[in-house]
Amino acid sequence: MFGRLITAMATPFTPSGGLDLDGGRRLAEHLIANGSEGLVVCGTTGESPTLRFEEKRDLIRTVVETVGDRADVIAGTGTYDTAESVHLSEMALEQGAHGLLLVTPYYSRPPQAGLVAHFTTIARAAGSSPVILYDIPGRTGRKIAHATLLELAKVPNIIGVKDAAGDLAGTARLIAEAPQGFTVWSGDDAVTLQMLALGAHGVISVASHLGGPRMAEMIAAYQKGDVERAAALNRELVPLFDVLFITSSPIPLKAALEMIGLPAGDPRLPLVPATDDERSKLRVVLHGLGLL
């Protein structure tokens, strides 16, 4: 089982828009030093749709080499093309990734039977390597239905789901009915504490780039039964959770990383850099958290 605090890592780019592998090393080191037990590389926050195959290969290898045995590296290899997802998954595992994160196929809006076939095909190609599903219908246009998740949970190496469906009642039902060993991570920083209360294992986070120590402490406090302390830390983090999604992610995150001196670079088109107004709002929150 992977850790409780996993960061969906941003992909640093150079001023000219190229892949910044040195920046990737620095950012990975920062995240591990600030509470992350695992890193998702080439996920949504990592702008995976704009990364070429060779860039994904080089970034995964670089992060794996950087973190060594200090953290798990989970590669985002899901696309809207099953064959390409298999190809990416095999490549990622060859580079040393410890597991895979597979987002629901987007744009094509496959039926639930198609989702079962898609995820099962990739999981089988991954051998015994662990696979986490990623349910985020707000981006993909298709919810992984409850019955579909339960069916996929029977696949031996599909070990859990990053749940960003925005349905806490559905999450509670899934945790209650899923087989033992099937793990749920929050896919939305803002509801992590609520999901822990439902039985989620942890979070695959964006905010941990900036609030990693507080988030790790919040999770640890809740696990120890100190709900009051966990709630107090959550209240401190709410402004960060909010400001990182004032526009399309990871636009605010990359601007915030730049402000605190960590490698980021501008996002690649079709995403655009944060506006002056967005940067102003970010500065207020970063000052409030003592990060500036």
Burial 42-69 (b: 16+ CB within 10 A, else e): bbbbbbbeebeeebbbbbbbbbbebbee
Q: What's the confidence (pLDDT) of residue 155?
A: 98
166 three-class SS: coil
Query: Which residue of the set 143, 162, 254, 281 is catalytic?
Result: 162
φ and ψ at 268, to 5 degrees?
A: -85, 145
Instruction: For the chain, give percent helix, strand, coil, nearest 5.
Output: 50, 15, 35
As a whole number of angstroms, the distance between CA 137 and CA 268 comes to 23
As a whole number of angstroms, the distance between CA 138 and CA 126 comes to 27
Question: Over the chain (292 residues), what is each successive 10-residue block's mean pLDDT?
Answer: 95 98 98 98 97 98 97 98 98 98 96 98 98 97 98 98 97 97 98 98 98 98 98 98 98 98 98 98 98 94
As a whole number of angstroms, the distance between CA 62 and CA 65 comes to 5
Residue 163 in tokens:
């749940």
Q: What's the confidence (pLDDT) of residue 1?
A: 74
Q: What's the confidence (pLDDT) of residue 172?
A: 98
The answer to whether 10 and 43 are in contact (CB under 8 A) is: no
106 annotated active-site: no
Q: What's the confidence (pLDDT) of residue 175?
A: 98
As a whole number of angstroms, the distance between CA 229 and CA 221 comes to 6
pTM to 2 decimal places: 0.97
Q: 235-263: per-residue pLDDT in tens?
A: 999 999 999 999 999 999 999 999 999 99
281 annotated active-site: no
CATH class of 5-230: alpha beta
Query: Which residue of the set 134, 143, 222, 254 is catalytic?
Result: 134
As a whole number of angstroms, the distance between CA 256 and CA 278 comes to 10
